[in-house]
Structure 1
């Protein structure tokens, strides 16, 4: 069993954590906790049901805020004159409870590529059951089918693809393995204009078999649609069946995903979100058929794109994986296979963590739910699925952001906002007493913004001070939490600290940072003191992504004679700027 690489939570200090599945399973945390992560799969009996955030132990405020923001992005922006996307469906679930399911905007809104809006009576409002073209989320279905064939013994993960598909060996691809297709380390280029440069489906598939790698296999990470088309050809070869039938019989049928599949019938068009007005190729409004040009040119069934689905059906797939590969008594994968699917195989390529089909640990769209086991995928049409085993949570945002055209900009802020809303609804409980100090600048990404928590002047009795506190840090790696000292309240210097937590001892560092561990650290420091001084805790935001937050608790300062400051008893001894007292 491979081991998951831990996120670095102390600068170059904390060691990698073992795969939680290899450890003894601890007692089950309560609902709604961010700082007590789950270590194993949910009970196989866990089924999705509707409920309020309160029923799931969540704070409804961040969820409501995320839903408001998604709705606002379906309205024209004064700066651009158009919305971020025409419409959206948002679904959030925690511990089997669907705590939010909201539709906003329109499934059909525009009359042309320029963005001329249809008359109100000709528009189709978005509904929670609207069907979306998932685009690259389809890769997850292809990957699951491949893993099912591995379980059945028809394929070996580390075997060359050419063992099963001999014609794939051409042009220097003989060494490419099944694993490299699943992890996008095969060396194949991102795509080919199959729809434009080859005349028919057989020649288009042959082009994928004939293409030469642009990098030596295994030498780099390069996301490629061709990997999944090759995987499609592989599973079709070893089973003698088409990919769409394998998906139907192996995934959507057993899981009861009745609204998921390829090539929806024309009669379903009114229930499907419209996508782009295309002129090259000259398809006009693409609505009810796959948007991706190559998938369209391959007949609508392709390894990289082509699946249509709803938010509720995707939630079932997500819950099946959280449950260890089964749902409502129907198993699609073994638990050990799901564990491997959510294990990082790309440790050699920092920042490109990838399991077997799933992307892992991608803050640019997973937001504050990000961790080493957080899995997901996005789609070009504006779709997003995030599955967080550590909190047993699912965040889904489906949009038709390419309607009326693909040039209206990125929707990544919306993707993060949805994940952030769910993450911030989960509690971080104080370590000691009824509350803890929480930073309020973590909700922004203002580069260089700082929050300070400063003591009154302290007069040590002796030549040394000892400082202890508990810290919860889930922030962007560019953010830093420092302990500093000053004799005059003007000039400050960093105080090295030593932190322990999450089962990994830490050495001495100047700053605390990082995300993904989701637990409190116990922090200690010693510093010389020749006279009165002040201490302060300074949290500085970087210019990237905010995480779940930074918390301080149980602050104590002592000297040779005993305790000088106990913040649990004397709150007035601290002056806060950018911090607040929080109960969760």
Structure 2
């Protein structure tokens, strides 16, 4: 699912916020070994909103050593901007966030997410660790030379997530039914987890203040994007979701209960060969443009 994993990580964080174990203004350096955090000003909110100033990614797979030694390299990262001053999409930020959640939850992130989000939502086959049967059914992604993995299948495509294992930025495997179950958590129609209404509103609230901007029509919520472009360049407003680099995406409209997921394979066998922006926009038109045009007459949620 590539970066759609970030939605599950963000929802796992939301469950800890809901039970009082975590606060958006908590400092990452107070929740982790401070040596892992390159700036003491970075907060949980910064990590969830890509405003920590951290780099988008780091070639941690090139560092020989243990998982802990690779993570320690993040603590030496140079910030592109002071925390809270600019929006810059960062997988590194979600890796740190996942480590925070694991420490607070007393278990690894995949187990914590399964317990708090995936299981309650009914995403029964979603996992960071697919078994042999699931790996055999997984779509092959990219032929990778750096690192020299060959054709990647049944293992996370993202190189940094692969080098670390069980992290918050990428690594989730899911079926279409699983993806829609996760989207229903964003829509507020899933059987669980149940989040307080004020926290739901905060997840879908634009978190950026000027001059910070995404540089795109969509805005930034807590771990989700707000608004999805349609083929004509307009925006389906209020739609929450996230795309993944491999060609995945999921969306939810809390106002109508409509959810959608698009699972394509953009990186097979090479990432330079395909793009799926047009398909995402058309999918959003099919799922959300009719709903937004007739929201007042909507008879109920659609899937």
What TM-score, normalized by structure 1, do the two folds share?
0.47
When residues 222 and 422 of structure 1 are mapped into structure 2, their CA distance, relative to the original with a 3 A threshold, is same
CA RMSD of aligned residues (A): 2.3
Please state if 1:375 is matched with 2:209: no
Within-5 A mapping of 1:250-399: 250-299=116-165, 301-323=166-188, 327-328=190-191, 330-348=192-210, 349-351=212-214, 353-363=219-229, 370-371=236-237, 373-399=238-264
Q: Secondary structure at the match of 1:376?
A: strand
Q: List per-residue Cα deviations over 1:392-442 (Å, max 9, x = no partner).
A: 32221111111111111321011101111234544847xxxxxxxxxxxxx
Residue 200 of structure 1 and its aligned partner are, at CA, apart by: 2.8
When residues 210 and 350 of structure 1 are mapped into structure 2, their CA distance, relative to the original with a 3 A threshold, is closer
Report if aligned partners of 1:187, 1:221 keep a CA contact under 8 Å in 2.
Answer: yes
> 2:34 corresponds to which residue?
167
Residue 251 of structure 1 and its aligned partner are, at CA, apart by: 1.0
Alignment partners' CA distance in 2, 1:427 and 1:364: 12
Please state if 1:153 is matched with 2:153: no
Report if aligned partners of 2:3, 2:245 keep a CA contact under 8 Å in 1.
Answer: yes
Alignment partners' CA distance in 2, 1:303 and 1:198: 21
Residue 232 of structure 1 and its aligned partner are, at CA, apart by: 1.1
Alignment partners' CA distance in 2, 1:211 and 1:422: 40
Q: Secondary structure at the match of 1:261?
A: coil
Q: Secondary structure at the match of 1:142?
A: helix
Report if aligned partners of 1:385, 1:395 keep a CA contact under 8 Å in 2.
Answer: yes
Alignment partners' CA distance in 1, 2:171 and 2:257: 28
> 1:68 corresponds to which residue?
none
Alignment partners' CA distance in 2, 1:215 and 1:354: 17
Within-5 A mapping of 1:513-528: none
Residue 138 of structure 1 and its aligned partner are, at CA, apart by: 0.4
Residue 247 of structure 1 and its aligned partner are, at CA, apart by: 0.7
Residue 182 of structure 1 and its aligned partner are, at CA, apart by: 0.4
When residues 298 and 361 of structure 1 are mapped into structure 2, their CA distance, relative to the original with a 3 A threshold, is same
> 1:190 corresponds to which residue?
56
> 1:400 corresponds to which residue?
265
Report if aligned partners of 1:368, 1:424 keep a CA contact under 8 Å in 2.
Answer: no
Residue 389 of structure 1 and its aligned partner are, at CA, apart by: 2.4
What TM-score, normalized by structure 2, do the two folds share?
0.89
Q: Which has the higher strand share?
A: 1
Residue 362 of structure 1 and its aligned partner are, at CA, apart by: 4.1
Within-5 A mapping of 1:399-548: 399-426=264-291, 428=293
Alignment partners' CA distance in 2, 1:327 and 1:409: 33
Residue 168 of structure 1 and its aligned partner are, at CA, apart by: 4.7
Alignment partners' CA distance in 1, 2:231 and 2:104: 35
Within-5 A mapping of 1:226-241: 226-241=92-107
Report if aligned partners of 2:230, 2:236 keep a CA contact under 8 Å in 1.
Answer: no
Q: List per-residue Cα deviations over 1:164-195 (Å, max 9, x = no partner).
A: 22415754x10111100000001111111001
Q: List per-residue Cα deviations over 1:317-342 (Å, max 9, x = no partner).
A: 2223322xx633x3342222222111
Q: List per-residue Cα deviations over 1:477-497 (Å, max 9, x = no partner).
A: xxxxxxxxxxxxxxxxxxxxx
Alignment partners' CA distance in 1, 2:120 and 2:253: 23
Alignment partners' CA distance in 1, 2:49 and 2:232: 19
When residues 292 and 364 of structure 1 are mapped into structure 2, their CA distance, relative to the original with a 3 A threshold, is farther
When residues 366 and 247 of structure 1 are mapped into structure 2, their CA distance, relative to the original with a 3 A threshold, is farther
Alignment partners' CA distance in 1, 2:149 and 2:128: 18
When residues 280 and 170 of structure 1 are mapped into structure 2, their CA distance, relative to the original with a 3 A threshold, is closer
Residue 298 of structure 1 and its aligned partner are, at CA, apart by: 0.9
Report if aligned partners of 1:367, 1:420 keep a CA contact under 8 Å in 2.
Answer: no
When residues 367 and 268 of structure 1 are mapped into structure 2, their CA distance, relative to the original with a 3 A threshold, is farther
Report if aligned partners of 2:236, 2:289 keep a CA contact under 8 Å in 1.
Answer: no
Report if aligned partners of 2:202, 2:222 keep a CA contact under 8 Å in 1.
Answer: yes
- List gaps (5 residues or longer) in structure 2: 297-303
Residue 219 of structure 1 and its aligned partner are, at CA, apart by: 1.1
When residues 332 and 289 of structure 1 are mapped into structure 2, their CA distance, relative to the original with a 3 A threshold, is farther
Larger Rg: 1 or 2?
Answer: 1
Alignment partners' CA distance in 2, 1:368 and 1:419: 11
Alignment partners' CA distance in 2, 1:343 and 1:273: 34
Q: How many residues are aligned here?
A: 292
Alignment partners' CA distance in 2, 1:298 and 1:418: 33
